[in-house]
């Protein structure tokens, strides 16, 4: 499997959350297929950029924000644009 770049890892994490509607941090880490230290970096980055939100019920759950959904919608356009202009 080819090494994923940052945009692909973000897409994969957001997709897992979208498919599950809301998910606990540990299964998300397991399914993300990255090391826990990198996961922490991505997780805090996604929270900071408001792509995901934490909700506290019985347990801590993670769900997508509107911005996170928009990222998934626009992902192909972003990649195409970067590819087109060699950015």
Partner 1 sequence: MVLMTGRVIGRGLGKLMNIGVGSEIIYSFVIIICSLMIYFGTKELYKLSFHKGIKYFRQAFLFFALAYFFRSFIKIALFYFEISELRNILPIFGSITLFIFMYFSSMAIFYLLYSVMWKKWESKSTIYFLHIISMAIAIIILLFQNPLIYFLINILLFVFISFTVFISFRQSKKKKSHNLYIIYLMLLIFWIFNILDILIPNFLQAFQLSIYLISLGIFILIFYKVIKKTG
Positions touching partner 1 (CB under 8 A) are 7, 49, 67, 70-71, 74, 77-78, 80-87
Of 58 and 77, CB closest to partner 1: 77
Q: How many angstroms separate the Cα of 84 from the Cα of each of 3, 39, 78, 79?
A: 21, 29, 10, 9
Q: How far is the CB of 58 from partner 1 (least distance, A)?
A: 32
Find the shortest distance in angstroms from Cβ 73 to partner 1.
9
Q: 7 or 24: whose CB is closer to partner 1?
A: 7
Reading across the β-sheet that carries 52-56, which strands appear in turn? Answer: 22-23, 60-64, 52-56
> Smallest distance from the beta carbon of 50 to partner 1, in angstroms?
11
Q: Distance (Å, rounded) from C-alpha 31 to C-alpha 8?
A: 14
Nearer to partner 1, 56 or 85 (CB): 85
3-class DSSP state for residue 50?
coil
- The pair of structure tokens assigned to 63 is 């769900």
């Amino acid at each position: 499997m080819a090494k994923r770049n940052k945009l692909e890892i973000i897409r994969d994490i957001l997709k897992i959350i979208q498919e599950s509607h809301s998910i606990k941090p540990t299964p998300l880490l397991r399914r993300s297929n990255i090391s826990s230290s990198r996961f922490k970096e991505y997780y805090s980055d996604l929270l900071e950029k408001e792509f995901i939100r934490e909700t506290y019920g019985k347990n801590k759950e993670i769900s997508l924000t509107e911005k996170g959904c928009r990222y998934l919608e626009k992902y192909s356009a972003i990649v195409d644009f970067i590819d087109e202009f060699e950015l």
